[in-house]
């Protein structure tokens, strides 16, 4: 990968089984619990609120850390009140922040998320501004076992892909709308949200969309589809791994948790179907409580949940 993509790689001699490089957005989420969404201008009463770290990269990193992995996040964060909250919270969650320096005079990313009584959410995001482009430089003493990147910052995505190829490890792209095939060239795994797949292949069904994505990116491909589980392409057929059934209270961050745990499981050597099952369980558990990423489970609780669900079914 060329220097123009911002990669400054160092060949590293040791491989630590749970080291995951995550490149993606970090934000703060102000989450409001309401009865229903409104299509008009009016005051709405909220039953509860949480102020937590959010964003695909940050949420995935927290999910990985709680599972016992060692995430290192590469993200744009300003040296403002929001950025200092993001940075310290991630440090407290055991996320390596050495590649995410606070940028003076930049404005950090902020999201407002509204969660209705069915657990569905609407999110409005300000991406932040005033950042200088980061170089994805590896200054740690060990190599990653997998890499995860979202497609919100293409220069970070390209650098993450190059880093993963350098070490020959799984490279997972969290594909959200708008997505184009170039975002994943060189990656090994492409995991769409349903909205991301629909934007990439509009007016096509899941099978046709996944086939198109595989043809254009040469990646293993899947799509997360909420309560309908995860669909992935095996040969020419679409296979479904069902979601775990829970009473969804809050879906904010569920997809990010899924991507983080899926990537960690691949890095630990699991095959895709097994990794999907564990990621499905972690995402389902997160949805059972209000509060965004604050409800992300640890590995012990997730393993117990899977065993419990297996017995019940």
What is the per-residue pLDDT across 25-70, written as a single tens digit (0 to 9) for each? 999 999 988 888 887 888 888 888 989 999 999 999 999 999 999 9
Question: Across all residues in the chain, what is the average pLDDT?
Answer: 89
Q: Tell me what pLDDT residue 46 has.
A: 87
* pTM of the entire predicted model: 0.89
Q: Tell me what pLDDT residue 5 has.
A: 35
Q: Tell me what pLDDT residue 18 has.
A: 84
Top-level class of domain 17-37+45-312? alpha beta
More confident: 120 or 217: 217
What is the per-residue pLDDT across 129-145, written as a single tens digit (0 to 9) for each? 999 888 765 444 578 99
Interaxial angle between packed helices 56-66 and 254-267, expressed in degrees from 0 to 180 and rounded to the nearest 10: 50
High-pLDDT (> 70) share of the chain, %: 92
pLDDT band at 11 (very low <50, low <70, confident <90, very high): very low
- CB-based burial label for 249 (10 Å; 0-12, 13-18, 19+): middle
- Cβ-Cβ contacts under 8 Å for 264 (sequence gap 6 or more): 18, 20, 64, 67, 69, 146
pLDDT > 60? residue 208:
yes
Angle at 27 between CA 26 and CA 29, to 5 degrees: 140
pLDDT band at 216 (very low <50, low <70, confident <90, very high): very high
Closest CA to 244 of 174, 303, 172: 303
Return d(Cα 28, Cα 205) in angstroms, integer. Answer: 34
């Amino acid at each position: 990968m060329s220097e123009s993509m911002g990669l400054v790689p160092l060949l590293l001699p040791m491989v630590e089984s749970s080291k995951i490089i995550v490149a993606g957005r970090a934000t703060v989420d102000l989450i409001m619990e309401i009865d229903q969404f409104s299509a008009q201008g009016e005051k709405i009463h909220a039953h509860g609120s949480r102020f937590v770290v959010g964003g695909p990269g940050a949420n995935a990193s927290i999910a990985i850390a709680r599972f016992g992995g060692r995430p290192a996040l590469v993200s744009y964060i300003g040296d403002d009140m929001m950025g200092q909250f993001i940075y310290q919270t991630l440090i407290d969650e055991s996320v390596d922040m050495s590649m995410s320096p606070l940028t003076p005079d930049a404005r950090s990313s902020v999201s407002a998320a509204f969660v209705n009584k069915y657990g569905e959410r609407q999110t409005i995001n300000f991406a932040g501004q005033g950042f200088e482009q980061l170089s994805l430089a590896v200054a740690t003493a060990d190599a990653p076992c997998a890499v995860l990147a979202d497609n919100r910052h293409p220069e970070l995505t390209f650098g993450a892909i190059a880093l993963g190829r350098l070490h020959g490890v799984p490279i997972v792209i969290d594909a959200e709308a708008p997505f184009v095939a170039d975002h994943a060239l060189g990656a090994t795994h492409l995991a769409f949200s349903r909205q991301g797949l629909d934007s990439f292949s509009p007016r096509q069904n899941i099978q046709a969309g996944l086939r198109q994505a595989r043809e254009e990116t040469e990646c293993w491909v899947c799509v997360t589809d909420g309560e309908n589980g995860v669909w992935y392409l095996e040969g020419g057929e679409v296979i479904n791994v069902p979601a775990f059934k829970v009473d969804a209270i809050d879906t904010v961050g569920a997809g990010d948790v899924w991507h983080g745990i899926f990537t960690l499981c691949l890095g630990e050597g699991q095959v895709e179907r097994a990794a999907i099952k564990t990621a499905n369980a972690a995402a389902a558990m997160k949805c059972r409580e209000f509060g965004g990423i604050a409800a992300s489970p640890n590995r012990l609780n997730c393993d117990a949940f899977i065993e419990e669900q297996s017995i019940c079914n």
